[in-house]
Amino acid sequence: MSDLITGLVFWVLGVLAVVSGALVFRFDSMARATYALAVSFIAVGAALLLLQLDYVGLVTVLMMVMEMAVMAIYMIMFMGMNPALMPMSMVHSRRTALGISAGVFLVLAAGIVTVPWPQRRAAPAADLTASLGETIMGSKMLVMMGISPVLFATVVAAVVLAAPRTRYDRFGDDLRSAPSDPHHGGVGR
């Protein structure tokens, strides 16, 4: 009985993920397309919960909802000549895009069917989240510690490059003086 329910939930989530993913390209509004993608990701995250990958599933939902909420703003803000407040098509290079996506789908689907998947040899760990954490942060800790400063430096560099006002605009020649900002921040500077 519980197998039946699990199977049913899986199919509902799978269909929801695919249909809302396809709707991204059918909608004529930036906001709807973005949130259709968010629904698709939520369905994928819920499907991961079915695989008992609780942490990965929830983090997928968390990150993707956050990302789509921010992305909707950026898409509407930067949509060039079209203010994105009008109905507009969500596709360009239609033929090429359709060809590529059909090809990728066929290759991946063929992979699912033809690859000789190995049989499970051991039982899964009792606490999958803890074992996932130990795998990532245990022997790979050095890699993680190396990646973190690189990622952080990238973020800082991108913000510095994108910021319209540099520190010389804010402080003048003497960087120790008080900044002249149009709005003061919340901590009294």
Question: What token pair was written down for 114?
Answer: 């033809």
Interface positions with other proteins (CB under 8 A): 29, 31-32, 35, 38, 54-55, 58-59, 61-62, 65-66, 68-70, 72-73, 127-129, 183-187, 189
Contacts of 64 (CB under 8 A, 6+ apart): 38, 41, 42, 45
Give the span between the Cα atoms of 50 and 172, in whole angstroms.
58
At closest approach, how far in Å is the CB of 187 from other proteins? Answer: 5
- E-strand stretches of the chain: none
Q: Of 62 and 98, which has the nearer Cβ to other proteins?
A: 62
At closest approach, how far in Å is the CB of 22 from other proteins? Answer: 17
Give the span between the Cα atoms of 40 and 31, in whole angstroms.
14
Q: Of 80 and 182, which has the nearer Cβ to other proteins?
A: 182
At closest approach, how far in Å is the CB of 141 from other proteins? Answer: 15
At closest approach, how far in Å is the CB of 50 from other proteins? Answer: 14
